[in-house]
Amino acid sequence: MKKNRKDAQRTGFASELYVLSLLQRVGANAFMSFGNTKKVDIIVQKGSEALTIDVKGGSNSFPLNKKYKENLKDKNHYYIFVDYKGKFEDITVIPDIYIVPSVEMNFVREYDTKASNHRFNVLKNDIKEKFTNDLSIFVEEKTNGLVQ
């Protein structure tokens, strides 16, 4: 069943909040960006670096727009895919997450629609074995209680 725009927006916003919550829980200095035409969803300050994250929510596949190509060479940009396992409205189901550096986004599938628009998609099967849910990459290392 195809999602309507309102459902897609709700899934997207819930996914962003979920990832932001996880980042806060592991100690990342993370902030959400707001707006309808924002360039990134979450910004993480890690030392002197700013890491950026696009969050995509779904089940088994994750649609992208063509703007994803703008970040393919940015080593500080990441995609986090939130998989609701087909049970978005069941709050007892804990989603899986997959963290993908944008420089490794070489598995995106492109296809044409009836309206002759190009669409882009990431399939869960293409990322589930290779990419981890380890959020520690967004957290500053601590030595003797001090942040380095």
Tens of each residue's pLDDT in the chain, 148 residues: 455 667 888 999 999 999 999 999 999 999 999 877 788 999 999 999 999 999 999 998 898 888 888 888 999 999 999 999 999 999 999 999 999 999 999 888 887 766 656 678 898 999 989 998 999 999 988 655 555 5
Count up the domains in the chain and report the number: 1
Verdict on whether the full-model pTM lies above 0.95: no
d(Cα 130, Cα 148) in Å, to the nearest integer? Answer: 29
The enclosing domain of 136 has a CATH number of: 3.40.1350.10
d(Cα 2, Cα 49) in Å, to the nearest integer? Answer: 39
User: Which pLDDT value is given to residue 42?
Assistant: 97
Over the stretch 2-11, which tens digit does the pLDDT of each residue have? 556 678 889 9
User: Which pLDDT value is given to residue 1?
Assistant: 46
Domain that holds residue 22: 5-147
User: Which pLDDT value is given to residue 109?
Assistant: 86
